[in-house]
Amino acid sequence: MQGYESIIIFDPELGEDRQKEEVDKYRQLITSNGGQVVHHKVWGRRKLAYEVKKREFGVYHLMYLDHSPDALRALENQFRLDEGVLKWMSVSVEDLETEQAKFEKLINEGSISQQIGE
């Protein structure tokens, strides 16, 4: 098992409910492959540094996962097929809890903003 930090950018047109459905869908996929979602965070709507699939904004979600490399590949294949996912990136991490804490700290210190409007 390996810890991963996956960032997923959803199309903002999806709306919160649809995003929640998507996340649940992926959560199920992960657990059925023997992994688990340790944390799930919504970073929020942000302006993208460049246009992705004709979108200027994206909703950033963070998932801290513990699963096998094969399962990650299966998950990323699903992202590839999903129209609502603009972009994603997975980074392997040593310890999921400390990574999660670091993100929280950045948010709390105000180094990174949680939500950026129009």
Partner 1 sequence: MARGKGGSSRRRGLGNRIIIPRRKTSMLNTLEEIPFKDVDLLKNYITERGRILPRRITGNTAKTQRALRQAIKRARNIALLSFAEGHVDQD
Residues in contact with partner 1 by CB under 8 A are 7, 9, 46, 48-52, 58, 86-87, 89, 91, 102-103, 106, 111-112
* Nearest residue (CB) to partner 1, 51 versus 118: 51
Q: Can you tell me which residue has the tokens 């949680």?
A: 114
* Nearest residue (CB) to partner 1, 17 versus 50: 50
The answer to whether residues 10 and 44 touch, using CB atoms and an 8 Å cutoff, is: no
* Nearest residue (CB) to partner 1, 46 versus 67: 46
**Residue 7 DSSP SS3:** strand
